[in-house]
Amino acid sequence: MTRQRTNFLRPLTSLACAIALWGCATTPQQIQLPGDGAVPLYTCCNLHAVEGRLHDVNYHFGTFIPLGTPVTIERVGAHDATVLVGAQRLKVVHAFGRKSESFEQFLHKLFVTEDPQARLRRMPAETRDLIFQGKVTPGMTRQEVLLSLGYPPTHRTPSLDSPEWNYWYNRWFSFKARFDAGGRLTEMLGVHLAVDRFLVGGPEHVASTAQ
C-alpha cells in the first residue's frame, strides 16, 4: 500500500513542481524602480485614471491627476504595477508600448524623483496656470506640453523629437499636437471634443475621426 500510494503521488508532485517552475519562469526580471525605491516619487505630468488604471495609451478622460502628486509603488509585475497616487490605489498598465520601451523605462517616465511643480514656479504665471488646468496654447515648448498633456503613446510617437505628437482622447478619438522647427506648439488637430477641451487660443483644425 505504501509503494502504491507513493507511485500515485509522484505524478502529482511532478505536476506541482512543473507549475512552480512555470510560475518562476514568468516572474518578471528585477526592475529598478525610480529612485531605487528609496526616495519620494511624483507624477511626471498631468495624468488621467480611467476605471482605476493608468494606461500607457494615456487617455485624456477620467479622473484628472495633477503633476507632482506623491506616488508610492506597492507592487511591480512584468507589465503592470500597483501604485498609490495621492489617496488613490491604481493599476499601471503597459500594453501598447512594449516594442518601443521596457516597462522599467515607462515607470521611470511616469514617476520622477523631482517634483515637477518646482519647475512650474519658474515659468510665467499664464503658462503655469494653463499647465495646472491641463491645457496648452500655441508657443508652448515641448516640455511644457508634456507637463500639461503627458507623454504621447510611444507606439504612435516613438520619439519626442517628432514634429507631431499623437494622443488619444478615448478609444475612438485621437488628436495631435504639432510643433515647428524650434520645438514650439503651433496647432492641435483632431475632433472638437479633444481640441476644444485642451487648446486655448490659436487655430483649430478638425478632422472627422483622426485615428
**What pLDDT is recorded for position 14?**
39
pLDDT beyond 70 at 16: no
**What pLDDT is recorded for position 201?**
86
**What pLDDT is recorded for position 191?**
87
Q: Mean pLDDT throughout 26-36?
A: 68
Cα–Cα dist 179/15, whole Å: 58
Q: Where would I find the H helices in 111-159?
A: 117-120, 125-132, 142-149
Q: Give pLDDT tens digits for 124-165.
A: 999 999 999 999 999 999 999 999 999 999 999 999 999 999
**What pLDDT is recorded for position 108?**
96
**What pLDDT is recorded for position 32?**
87
Q: Give pLDDT tens digits for 51-107.
A: 999 999 999 999 999 999 999 999 999 999 999 999 999 999 999 999 999 999 999
**What pLDDT is recorded for position 29?**
59
Please state whether beta strands 63-65 and 70-76 pair in parallel, antiparallel, or not at all (unpaired): unpaired
Cα–Cα dist 54/33, whole Å: 17
pLDDT beyond 50 at 7: no
Assign 34 a pLDDT band (cuts: 50, 70, 90). confident
**What pLDDT is recorded for position 59?**
96
How far, CA to CA in Å, does 114 sit from each of 17, 39, 43, 68? 45, 10, 9, 8
Q: What percent of the chain has pLDDT over 70?
A: 82
pLDDT beyond 50 at 5: no
